[in-house]
Chains A and B, each alone.
Chain A
Amino acid sequence: MNALHTDLLVVGAGMSGLVAAATAAEAGARVLLVHAGLGSFVYGAGSISEAPGGAAQTFFQSLAEAAGAPYHEEAQLPTMLGSTQPMALVPDALWGGRALPGSRVAVVGVEGMSSFDSRFVVERLGQGYVARDIALPQEDGVPHSALNIANRFDRDSAFRRLMAERLRQAAADCDQILLPACLGQHSNHSDLLIFAAEVGKPIGEMTTLPPSVAGLRLNNLLMAHLRRLGVEFVGGYPLAGLEIENGVCHGVSVAVPGRARNISARAVVLATGPHSHDLLPGWSGKADHLLRPLDGQGNVMLKGLTLAGALLAAGNGHAVTSGHAAALSALAQEESHAA
């Protein structure tokens, strides 16, 4: 990690950070992404309640498609609380569980799993839904959780076959299957299609308590795609601070144990989430139209730095819009510096 240098440095691996990195990489820039952990994908499945619209949405949908995790528009999604939530953009795995008129849906739980109850969900969802449970063998006496089922789904084809068989039996009299998100951390769109074909029914996942398997899977697919685009990742270490000289951000320092390592860049996108105001002393919490941070007087306080994601406002829709725009803005500024 000595003397790392890049064109665009993105900090943060949540939705906005990944979109920013992909935007810059597709524009031909050399991109390095620094992240402390997994970002917001541990907590949520990546559904978007308000459509980003415009070029950002077009970009994002083709990015997700290429990563093997396509999104669909407009759906009412059932939740683990037995309510439904309207969503503007939905990952494919969840979209399979959207409410369809006249469809008889089997809500399928796993016997013994503490964090999901099919009867509870069905009782609240009402007509058109029936509760079923499947029995799966425990591994080493470990209680079932969505995450450990997902891990076995990923590595054990016999387990996958057994699961498909049990699901087929449980939902024999139904048109559609809803189950807690657990179909692997690495399965892409076609893996899930193959599994659904084996079961013989369309399958939709429901979001669960964290860690969200659907979110982790989306994260894994997007990261793998970004690597293919040439993005480099430096993961596991929190940011120590920004490297600033004469009002220009030249990079960051990363808190590697025992020392701080510098990474220099022509421009930086900060996408570190809602609780990182400490990185920008004197920041007003606002950004200008180019997503540069503004001080209390409304002046751009730093050059070479743009902001994205929940640092500015909540929501995955905003994460997509601002991630895309922050990368384009950073690249444009960098060019104007160079000129």
Chain B
Amino acid sequence: MDRTQVVIIGGGATGAGILWDLSLRGISAVLLEKRDLANGATGRCHGLLHSGARYVVKDAEAARECLSESRILKTIAPHAVHDVGGLFVRYPQDDPAFFPQWDEACAKVGLPTEKLSPEQALELEPNLPKTILGASTTPDAHVDVFQLTLSNLQAAVAKGGRFMPYCEVTAIEQSNGRVTAVRFTDSRSGEQDRIPCEMVVNAGGGWAQAVAQMAGLDVPVRCDKGSLLVLNHNLVSRVVNRCRKPGDADILVPAGPVCILGTSSITVSGPEGLTADSEELEHLLALGAELVPLMAEARVLRVFSGVRPLYVPKDAGGAAGRDVSRGFVLLDHSERDGLAGFVSIIGGKLTTYRLMAEVTANLVAKKLGVDAPCRTAVTPLRAATDPALAAKVEKLLPAQAAAIAERRLGPDLARLVELIEADANMAEIICECEQVTRAEIAMLMSSEALVPAKTINDLGRRSRLGFGSCQGTFCGYKAMLEGYRHGLWSAEAGAEEFKRYLNERWKGQAQVPHGKQIEQLSLSHDLFGPTFHFHAGEGV
């Protein structure tokens, strides 16, 4: 492959943010990701855009970073942020000594809050328990992590950056004490290739230790697993936090048509093959019911686990889980290990991904001798939508689908309109839960897309297809056919792809402890199981 200045490894929010930052400075860069965007910690979190309120007591600096970064994201990526606000709720079973500490710490950091009486809080969130002692408002928000990562990548690609999903790094070449190239395998085609470069950025998250090892370096990363539950109800309309020292299952985030409860915190050996056992889930649900009692009756759609990649240098002692700093570190391996051209960015939080990208890109630019300042804090990730275009879409689609398409697609609505005007069938809603039209699927699968989808799951990360209560049982098949029609796969490969997709969706639901979603799962099994010989049973 052609030479580039910088190779970034890891397609989470941080890697995507670095690609955008470098592209904006005119530095050529290629991002290699072994799966698809947001496959690691980015895609497996609450999607909470932290105001900093959760960290004020223990780590004022982290709180300040969150406060300023969340404000920036609300201005540069309003399409990805649902600015719902948050409540820190004081529960009678929690330590009352923490409440004034939290109030003071917020004031010190400059975090705007407003104190509410129990009655006022219940008026805002009627599903909170009647026994609460009060609450405070915070500027917390929900961020669509996939949309945020995608927008960074799209913006970067439009400026000449390159995103290469399904490319797994196999070696980092070096000569005379500096990196010279990165070797990788395209896991879909099996082809191997090599990119000569001046610098390599390790943004591997939970995989950062393994990436550093390929350069012969030791970067200690501890993987701290957090499991989360997706509930098919908007139990709350704001982010609800328990006002106490951070612990398990004390955050509930409303995320579009669902809400997400989490998390646990358990040290694990690595970022792959994560599962949550039933004990862990029952524990989370029991705590969740303390947060919002109605949760005991809620329908759990699926369960997922991710790891927080925590940087733990050898001299850090025995700290684990939530006691390890949630701050980030930038390692300049030329200073640390004598390997020039290699840097690692480790730790941090989704909320601070842009700042992490900024400091990384600052160091890279300095090393490359490029004198261009960071502009990501003041450059919108996406151009504003032309109101005339939005009005057109409102005529072509039902109101809810139009509103969602407008938010998701922005200026790309122009293409949506073209497709539907050329063929009315393109207006069909393929994914009912998330209101994804056939036209949007066609756009995402097109080779002209800035960041094209290559699998059905890729479509989900770009459009939320299959994220709702059917979990892809119905829309997944239609999406597979759409991919076939676009030449993404042969019939044989399409059937395999659909089988892979269903299997993964089933895995996420099989961990669900009880209730309606198990019925949905067994329906899905009954429909497709016999065809794929997944299990014995009745035919369709």
Contact = CB atoms under 8 A, between A and B. Distances in A.
Partners in one complex: yes
Interface of A: 43-45, 47-49, 77, 79-83, 85, 87, 112, 114-117, 119-121, 123-124, 138, 141, 143-144, 207, 209-210, 212, 274-275, 314-316
A44 B538 contact: yes
A114 B539 contact: no
A86 B526 CA distance: 15
A83 B528 CA distance: 11
Instruction: Determine which residue in A49, A87, A144 has the highest number of CB atoms from chain B within 10 A of its CB, and name it.
Output: A49
B494 interface: yes
Contacts of A123: 490-492
A124 B424 CA distance: 29
Instruction: Determine which residue in A79, A81, A116, A138 has the highest number of CB atoms from chain B within 10 A of its CB, and name it.
Output: A81
Given A43-B526, A114-B438, A114-B478, A81 B427 contact: no
B433 interface: no
What are the 10 A-B residue pairs with the smallest beta carbon separation, nearest first?
A123-B491, A112-B425, A143-B428, A207-B540, A124-B491, A117-B481, A315-B538, A120-B491, A275-B519, A47-B539
Contacts of A77: 539
24 contacts: A44-B526, A44-B539, A47-B539, A47-B540, A48-B538, A79-B531, A81-B498, A81-B528, A85-B530, A87-B539, A112-B423, A115-B477, A117-B484, A120-B484, A121-B491, A123-B490, A124-B491, A124-B492, A138-B424, A143-B427, A209-B478, A275-B519, A314-B538, A315-B537
Contacts of A210: 474, 527
Interface in B461-490: 474, 477-478, 481-482, 484-485, 490
B276 to A, nearest CB: 23
Interface string B416-451: 000000011101101000000010000000000000
B495 A117 contact: no
Chain B interface category by residue count? 20 to 34
A83 B531 contact: yes
A309 to B, nearest CB: 11
Contacts of B519: 274-275
A45 B438 contact: no
A176 B539 CA distance: 23
Interface in B94-148: none
A79 B482 CA distance: 18
A48 B538 CA distance: 7
A45 B538 CA distance: 11
Contacts of A274: 519, 522
Given A83-B495, A85-B539, 9 more contacts: A43-B523, A49-B530, A80-B477, A81-B528, A115-B477, A124-B492, A143-B427, A143-B428, A314-B537
A143 B430 CA distance: 11
A83 B495 CA distance: 9
Contacts, number: 90
Contacts of B540: 43-45, 47, 79, 85, 207, 212
B96 to A, nearest CB: 40
B484 A114 contact: no
B413 interface: no
A209 B428 CA distance: 16
A187 to B, nearest CB: 20
Interface string B508-526: 0000000000110011001
Chain A binding surface SS class: loop
A224 B276 CA distance: 48
A144 B477 CA distance: 16
Contact of A115 (B481, B492, B495, B538): B481
Given A112-B425, A114-B425, A124 B495 contact: yes
A69 to B, nearest CB: 17
Contact of B538 (A49, A79, A209): A49
Given A43-B526, A49-B539, A124-B492, A141 B430 contact: no
Nearest to A88: B539
A119 B486 CA distance: 13
Contacts of B539: 44, 47, 49, 77, 85, 87, 207
A117 B491 CA distance: 10
Contacts of B423: 112
Contacts of B530: 49, 85
Contacts of B430: 114
A112 B482 CA distance: 11
Given A44-B540, A45-B540, A315-B537, A81 B492 contact: no
A43 B540 CA distance: 7
Interface string B373-409: 0000000000000000000000000000000000000
A123 B494 CA distance: 11
A115 B164 CA distance: 31
Contact of A85 (B481, B494, B531): B531
A255 B455 CA distance: 45
Contacts of B537: 314-315
A120 B494 contact: yes
Contacts of A85: 530-531, 539-540
A293 to B, nearest CB: 21
Contacts of A87: 539
Nearest to B484: A120
A177 B282 CA distance: 52
A47 B531 CA distance: 13
Given A49-B539, A315-B538, A141 B531 contact: no
Contacts of B424: 138, 141, 143
Nearest to B482: A114
B514 to A, nearest CB: 10
Given A114-B425, A120-B481, A123-B491, A43 B438 contact: no
Nearest to A47: B539
A295 B160 CA distance: 69
A290 to B, nearest CB: 25
Contacts of B428: 114, 143
Instruction: Determine which residue in A80, A212, A314 has the highest number of CB atoms from chain B within 10 A of its CB, and name it.
Output: A314
Contacts of B518: 275
A117 B526 CA distance: 21
Contacts of A83: 495, 531
A85 B424 CA distance: 35
B383 to A, nearest CB: 31
Nearest to A15: B538
A265 to B, nearest CB: 27
Contacts of A275: 518-519, 522
Contacts of A144: 425
Contacts of A80: 477
Instruction: Determine which residue in A47, A114, A143 has the highest number of CB atoms from chain B within 10 A of its CB, and name it.
Output: A114
A44 B530 CA distance: 12
B189 to A, nearest CB: 21
A119 B430 CA distance: 20
Contacts of A81: 495, 498, 528, 531
Contacts of A45: 540
Contacts of A47: 538-540
B205 to A, nearest CB: 36
Contacts of B490: 123
A121 B484 CA distance: 11
Contacts of A209: 474, 477-478, 527
A257 B438 CA distance: 39
Nearest to B499: A81
A138 B423 CA distance: 12
Contacts of B538: 44, 47-49, 314-316
